[in-house]
Amino acid sequence: MPTAILVDDMPQALQILQADLEDISPDVKITGTADSVVSAAKLLRQGQPDLLFLDIMLGDGTGFDLLEIFPNLSSKVIFVTAYEEHAIKAFRFAAIDYLLKPINQDDLLKAVERARGQLSVSSNESIDILKETIKNPDSLPKRISLHTQERIVVVEIENIIRCESDGNNTMFTLNSGKKIFVTKTLKQFDQLFSEHTFVRTHQSHLINIKHIQEYVRKEGGYLKMKNGDNIPVAVRKKAVIMELLDNID
């Protein structure tokens, strides 16, 4: 039976979260609730739960302050937040689970199920990415957490050469030659990298334009990447690609 601690400085929000969790996941044992960094720290010193539902803004600090007190926290953290678009993007780059207030029960159930499947996977580096991105709202994230079935891999975005669709999954190719299989769709990464140097060249391919070596016109036209990979270019994408190539620094 997985255990959980809930942390939120709003009593009503805490009560609703507890009631919803007991309703949709009655096998999750809630071992305590807290309304501040101090009270949450006291609970965690008594024992770390499998799941930690953590509000970001607390009366005496932030959820990040609590995590700094416990740098080796073994709990799977699910943030509860009222933050807006920039912070949501930060959560997505960090691949950290979050619930938006007011919490939807379906979202809560999905978050709990995802957490169950990742209890053995450390997310410390992912939380570091989240903190970096939230603290620097005017700069693009430089790193991203990629969840595989066995682990979380943190990579520098500039080192990603390309992403290729594999059904509802995505294969990442890095400039080191390493490949990472991620259980998310290419569409999700297309949206995530929209402000970075990535372009969708084809229904199945998303590439980092910094790693393009040349555009080859024969055989319908394709891109040769610096690692030697050949990437098809859809007819409707050719004009966009040619314009990008003309403007590469």
HSE-up (13 A, CA, CB side) for residue 230: 8
Tell me what the mean pLDDT of segment 212-232 comes to: 91
Please give the residue range of the domain that contains residue 233: 155-247
pLDDT of residue 146: 93
CATH number of 59's domain: 3.40.50.2300
200 and 165 share one domain:
yes
**pLDDT of residue 42 exceeding 70:** yes
Respond yes or no on whether the N-terminal peptide bond of residue 102 is cis (omega within 30° of 0).
yes
124 and 193 share one domain:
no
Contacts of 156 (CB under 8 A, 6+ apart): 142, 143
Q: Would you say residue 146 lies in a domain?
A: no
HSE-up (13 A, CA, CB side) for residue 51: 29
163 and 113 share one domain:
no
Q: Would you say residue 240 lies in a domain?
A: yes
pLDDT of residue 82: 80
76 and 195 share one domain:
no
| Alpha-helix runs per DSSP H in 136-220 | 186-192
Overall number of domains in the chain? 2
Q: Are 238 and 223 a contacting pair, CB within 8 Å? A: no
170 and 123 share one domain:
no
**pLDDT of residue 204 exceeding 80:** yes
Reported pTM: 0.78
Label the pairing between strands 29-34 and 3-7.
parallel
**pLDDT of residue 219 exceeding 90:** no
Q: 77 pairs with which residues across the strands?
A: 52
Length of the chain: 249
